[in-house]
Amino acid sequence: MKNLFVKTVIVGVILLIVSGCSSRPKPLYNYGDYSESYYDYKKNLNAESEQALQKSIEEAIKNASDSRSGRVAPGLYANLGYIYLKEGKATQAIENFKKEKQIYPESGYFMDKMIDKVTATEEKKNEK
């Protein structure tokens, strides 16, 4: 009887150890290589690194469903919108700011300010 109990405990411990090593959980958000691209962009501040950053953000957005939350990580739409804004693509910038606000309502105040600023700037351009 004692032998059976010891064997059962040993098997149970082995199963716990093996099951704990079986797989890593999915991350909450899928950032892809955003961190590396952002670091490279900040380090070099050139058009090539900005294009790489834009591409990494777009890829992270495309693969957002691979994460546990299934959502785009906070700030990615806002960051992509800012990149579009710097490229002179105001409409795409506003669309991304609105997406950020929709997914993360807590960013609403800031996104509204960005949208208002872009809209006002575009209206001034159109007046000339």
22 located within any domain = no
Q: What is the pTM of this model?
A: 0.75
Q: Are residues 107 and 95 in the same domain?
A: yes
**Residue range of the domain that includes 50:** 30-73
Based on the fold, state whether residues 57 and 42 are members of the same structural domain. yes
Predicted confidence (pLDDT) per residue in 22-41, tens digit: 566 777 888 888 888 889 88
Overall domain count for the chain: 2
Residues 83 and 124 in one domain: yes
| Assigned token pair, 74 | 């906070």
- Choose the final residue of a domain: 41, 58, 73: 73
Domain assignment present for 20: no
CA distance 128 to 117: 17
Query: Is 106 within the bounds of a domain?
Result: yes
| Together in a domain, 68 and 83 | no
Give the pLDDT of residue 27. 75
**pLDDT (tens digit, 9 = 90+) per residue, 76-120?**
999 999 999 999 999 999 999 999 999 999 999 999 999 999 999
- pLDDT at site 19: 64
Q: How far is the CA of 81 from the CAs of 21, 67, 120, 121, in angstroms?
A: 40, 22, 16, 15
